[in-house]
Amino acid sequence: MNRKCMIIVDGISGAGKTTMLVNLVKQRGFIDYGIHRATGTDWVHGSLSQRYFDMTQMRKWENDMEEVLPTIYILVDADTDIAHQRQTFKKDLNLDENPKIVQSLFHIHFDFITSFKNKIKIDTSEDDLETCLTIVSDFIKGVENDYYKA
């Protein structure tokens, strides 16, 4: 059976979003369509720039997605100092200007705002990549099994 699902990966710069997604694609055979600025990222950066954000439209989009495919929202988190070191090591200048504020906003979005039912928060500064991948992969398998059962 060809099981399909939508996976949305959010988090601060340097948390390990790309590393997580690249390895999930390899491990699970997913296709990365590279859709950026999903609801969490859009809400966080909209809040930072005091840009109008239509919460009703966001929740409608989230609910519509969940009706079409099992949707999994992954918040990839990390200690902000570790995340900054990772970005600096990679010579990636795409740094969050106020990482602690950005991180707090992602937590608020994850805990209180998003309407996605299947969501997981993983801290990449606490566990190695293999452990994080196992935790996330097991979570995805559980969602798939619930969605596609009999």
- 33-75 pLDDT, tens digit per residue, is 766 567 788 889 888 888 888 889 989 999 998 999 899 999 9
3-state secondary structure of 74: strand
Give the angle 98-99-100 at the CA atoms, nearest 5°. Answer: 95
The span from the CA of 28 to the CA of 33, in Å, is 15
Q: Is the pLDDT of residue 77 over 90?
A: yes
Please tell me whether the overall predicted TM-score, pTM, comes out greater than 0.85 for this model.
yes
What residue segments make up the domains of the chain, in order of their start? Answer: 6-130
Position 39 scores a pLDDT of 78
Task: With CA atoms as reference, report the closest residue to 81 among 5, 14, 28.
Answer: 14
Counting residues of the chain whose pLDDT is more than 70, the rounded percentage is 95
The answer to whether domain 6-130 has CATH 3.40.50 is: yes
